[in-house]
Amino acid sequence: MAGSSVPKIKDICVFGGSGLGKEQEFLESAYHLGRVLAERKIHLVYRGGSLGLMGGVSIAVFLRGSQVLGVVPKALAEGDIIGKIVREELQVSTMSERLSVMFNHADAFIALLGGLGTLEEIFHISSWAQLNIHQRPIGLLNINGFYNTLLSFLDHAVEQQFLTFSA
């Protein structure tokens, strides 16, 4: 379209596991994502720490010279259960506040592989999109088909008219 432009993504929020998963390719993909973000001068917003896939992406972004913002609830930071923050750390009071802060600092969202926390975050952001609270891009990094069954379930929910997505 003439005159229309897609806003440049400057800050991306990445969700993902604090564990590594069982396949080496999972961590390699996190490192690769971090390198690509940094090469494109995209800053990382994430839930903090140096462990697991989230640690991998944050370290790769940091080593390539891009900015990293870890948003961490005080209880997790004080308990030292997430590992060290790679660059800038912003402490918040609650998990809900963390998600709101990450949302407010991001132009787009992507989910690496992960467990319940990752699913909670991606579903929360996706439900806000469905409610037209935002129109920012959301993606899943579907390594080795990790999200295939989830995507099948979402297709089923659309078929049963419990979910609607507009293009």
Please report, for the chain, the start and end positions of each structural domain, with discontinuous segments joined by +. Answer: 11-159
For position 75, what pLDDT does the model report? Answer: 74
Report the DSSP pairing between strands 108-111 and 138-140: parallel
- pTM score of the predicted model: 0.88
For position 139, what pLDDT does the model report? Answer: 95
Q: Name the percent of the chain lying above pLDDT 90.
A: 74
pLDDT higher than threshold 50 for residue 1: no
Report the distance separating Cα 39 and Cα 41, nearest Å: 5
Q: Given pLDDT bands bounded at 50, 70 and 90, which one contains residue 90?
A: confident
**Average pLDDT of the segment spanning 43-61:** 92
For position 84, what pLDDT does the model report? Answer: 61
Q: Given pLDDT bands bounded at 50, 70 and 90, which one contains residue 87?
A: low
Q: Residue 140, SS3?
A: strand
Coarse DSSP helix, strand, coil percentages of the chain, rounded to the nearest 5 percent: 45, 15, 40
**Average pLDDT of the segment spanning 111-137:** 94
Question: Which pair of structure tokens corresponds to residue 21?
Answer: 């998963």
CATH class of the 11-159 domain in this structure: alpha beta
End-to-end Cα spacing for the chain: 16
Report the distance separating Cα 51 and Cα 117, nearest Å: 14
Question: Which pair of structure tokens corresponds to residue 16?
Answer: 């993902």
